[in-house]
């Protein structure tokens, strides 16, 4: 499946965007009510984790539980992940991305993570030797992702069956209790891996104007 180039400069900043420091971080996309984020940050106190959730109800539940537990190494963000990542993250800043049980987009395969042009941008934010953990309970989703990672993105990965007693997210618990096969790909970024966004700096809340877009197109 061919992938067109992602237009990062056209991503408008999320509402109430706040920039972050350039230190190394881990990122969870679609963190839901925060079960994995809270557990990971508790078990890895020296690692900074930013957990992003778009749905207000789930974000508020995560925020509430975070206030109770008080992990200082966890930051919660209420935003759509794509524009937030473009505006906030620096090249090679991220040690790990977690994408656990994303929407499988059954009617729109082009919106699946490894099928999106945005995935190349995501890779540019990942450190050399960093990993992306992509988990799903849908075998066909994992099979397609495996093919795309190998043939299109040309990245090494490990495919794992998730243990029956794993409990990282509410979805994972539910799927495993139903006896469903849950699997994950742990995708690595090798040394010398190159993307077209390796020098792209975060937009820091600055939106490209219509006039600037027109000028860019003139010079293309």
Superfamily for domain range 22-195+205-219: Vaccinia Virus protein VP39 (3.40.50.150)
What is residue 198's DSSP assignment? T
Span 54-100, pLDDT tens digits:
999 999 999 999 999 999 999 999 999 999 999 999 999 999 999 99
pLDDT value of position 209? 54
Rounded distance, CA 47 to CA 50, Å? 10
Give alpha helix (H) positions in the chain.
Answer: 35-43, 56-69, 81-88, 118-125, 139-151, 170-177, 210-219
Span 95-128, pLDDT tens digits:
999 999 999 999 999 999 999 999 999 999 999 9
pLDDT value of position 148? 97
With 0.85 as the threshold, say if the pTM is over it. Answer: yes
Asked if the model's pLDDT at residue 40 lies above 70, the reply is yes
pLDDT value of position 5? 84
Radius of gyration of the chain (CA): 17
pLDDT value of position 3? 66
Residue 96 phi/psi, 5-degree rounding, is -145, 140
Rounded distance, CA 173 to CA 208, Å? 42
Q: What share of the chain is helix, strand, coil (3-state, %, to 5)?
A: 35, 20, 45
Asked if the model's pLDDT at residue 46 lies above 80, the reply is yes
Kind of pairing between the strands at 183-188 and 25-29: unpaired
| Owner of token pair 């618990």 | 173
The domain spans of the chain are 22-195+205-219
| Best CA proximity match to 8, nearest among 77, 80, 81, 83 | 83
Q: Look up residue 185 and give its two tokens.
A: 């790909």
| Best CA proximity match to 192, nearest among 155, 157, 138 | 155
Rounded distance, CA 16 to CA 210, Å? 21
Span 132-147, pLDDT tens digits:
999 999 999 999 999 9
Span 155-187, pLDDT tens digits:
999 999 999 999 999 999 999 999 999 999 999
pLDDT band at 220 (very low <50, low <70, confident <90, very high): very low
Length, in residues, of the chain: 220
| Owner of token pair 């078990």 | 43
Asked if the model's pLDDT at residue 24 lies above 60, the reply is yes
Span 183-215, pLDDT tens digits:
999 999 999 999 999 999 999 999 865 434 444
Contact 36, 100 (CB under 8 A): yes
What is residue 199's DSSP assignment? T
| Owner of token pair 């090679």 | 92
E strand or H helix that includes residue 132: strand 126-136
């Amino acid at each position: 499946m061919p992938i067109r180039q992602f237009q990062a400069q056209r991503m408008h900043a999320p509402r109430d965007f706040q920039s972050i420091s350039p230190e190394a971080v881990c990122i969870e996309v679609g963190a839901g009510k925060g079960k994995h984020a809270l557990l990971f940050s508790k078990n890895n106190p020296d690692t900074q984790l930013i957990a992003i959730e778009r749905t207000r109800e789930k974000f508020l539940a995560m925020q509430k539980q975070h206030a109770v537990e008080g992990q200082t190494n966890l930051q919660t963000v209420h935003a759509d992940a794509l524009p937030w990542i473009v505006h906030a993250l620096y090249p090679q800043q991220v040690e790990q991305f977690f994408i656990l049980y994303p929407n499988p987009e059954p009617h729109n395969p082009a919106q699946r993570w490894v099928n999106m042009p945005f995935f190349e941008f995501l890779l540019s934010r990942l450190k050399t030797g960093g990993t992306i953990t992509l988990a799903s309970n849908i075998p066909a989703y994992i099979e397609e992702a495996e093919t795309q990672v190998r043939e299109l993105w040309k990245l090494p990965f490990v495919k794992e069956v998730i243990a029956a007693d794993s409990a990282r997210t509410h979805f994972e618990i539910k799927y495993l209790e139903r006896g469903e096969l849950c699997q994950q790909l742990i995708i690595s970024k090798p040394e010398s891996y190159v993307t077209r966004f390796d020098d792209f700096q975060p937009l820091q809340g600055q939106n490209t104007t219509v006039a600037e877009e027109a000028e860019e197109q003139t010079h293309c």
